[in-house]
Amino acid sequence: MTTNNILIYQIGRLDTNFQQPLDFEIKGETFESILSSFALKKHYNDYNVNIKLLFPISLPFNSSLYNSENFKKMCTKEFYEILYSAYNDADSFLNNPQLVFDKHPHLQDNINYMVIPSVGNYSGNNKQIYFSGHYSDIVLIILIDMIESFFKYKENVDKIIVDISSGHNYYVSAMIEALKHIDTWITLYKWNEKKTFCFIAVTEPIIPGFKGPYKISIEEQHTKVFFSCPISAKDIENTHLARTIFPEKEMRSKKRNLNEILEKFGLAFSAVKNNIPLFIYTNEFHNKEYLKDFLNEFLKYIKDVIYKDYLKTT
């Protein structure tokens, strides 16, 4: 029996009421949960649900947290101390943020997380911290995780749900943008195979002091796929795009492999667009497994570039 997998993404919380359970209503059923995504997991109990919480790197830098007795009571002693240490020593935290986020109380029952870049000014203890991340990098890092998760579950993903019930609009918008991209990518990748459906989940506005129930709406997204080429001939000529992505001399083989893939893609795209199928039948192209292996290596490299400096992603 094949297991049906669901991927759920939500911006992680860290506020003065982040441990307060609420009642959520989904299609007539009520579930008590700390996060709306946890309620969604209970709703889809017939599926293998995989939740990924997205923690902006700036989360610890909020002075109001450390002035709140309620927040301190909601934290374990260990988590509060390691969080406050990050607030006081931003440099050490930015060198290894996983030491803090690994202890987040919401990471139970196989809940996973990823760190995403932040944007703007934040205050540590007696220190201003400026994150000059880029919106496109946040979209990209989320998209990369979606693609990697798709491969992790052997391309058997029934639904991808982006829960926009929490988080700053900046990060919520990036999640929605990534969802559109993954919808297009999977549609082209799987073509006539079993479809992966993409949804946005949103909770009614949360009223302080009211436990609920709060209705969660789940709406399917329909992304139109257009037959257009994202790269130009100029990108391929003289390995222009490949050199931009792999600038170092020791990356010559990767640069060469990428440009070869782009060249063959350009030829295949042109043949289909101009209705010349014979060209495709009479020329050799990379097989699917080779392209998958290269894509996985490529995505890992891009992640390393983005995560190299949390203060400045590019």
Residue 271 pLDDT > 60: yes
Residue 2 pLDDT > 90: no
Predicted pLDDT of residue 314:
60
What token pair was written down for 213? 């129930």
Q: Rounded to whole angstroms, what are the CA distances from 281 to 162, 254, 256, 276?
A: 40, 27, 24, 10
Q: Where are the domains of the chain?
A: 5-220, 233-307
Predicted pLDDT of residue 218:
98
Q: Give Dmax (Cα) for the chain.
A: 72
The tens digit of pLDDT for each residue in 200-246 reads 999 999 998 899 999 999 999 998 877 788 888 899 988 999 999 99
Residue 160 pLDDT > 80: yes
Residue 52 pLDDT > 70: yes
Q: Rounded to whole angstroms, what are the CA distances from 184 to 141, 223, 226, 271?
A: 16, 7, 9, 21
What does CATH list as the number for 5-220?
Answer: 3.40.50.10640
The tens digit of pLDDT for each residue in 172-194 reads 999 999 999 999 999 989 887 88
Question: What predicted TM-score, i.e. pTM, was given to this entire model?
Answer: 0.93
pLDDT band with cut points at 50, 70 and 90 for residue 311:
confident
Predicted pLDDT of residue 1:
46
User: What value does the mean pLDDT of the chain take?
Assistant: 93
The tens digit of pLDDT for each residue in 123-141 reads 888 789 999 989 999 999 9
CB environment 27-46: b (16+ within 10 A), e (fewer):
eeeebebbbbbbbbbebbee
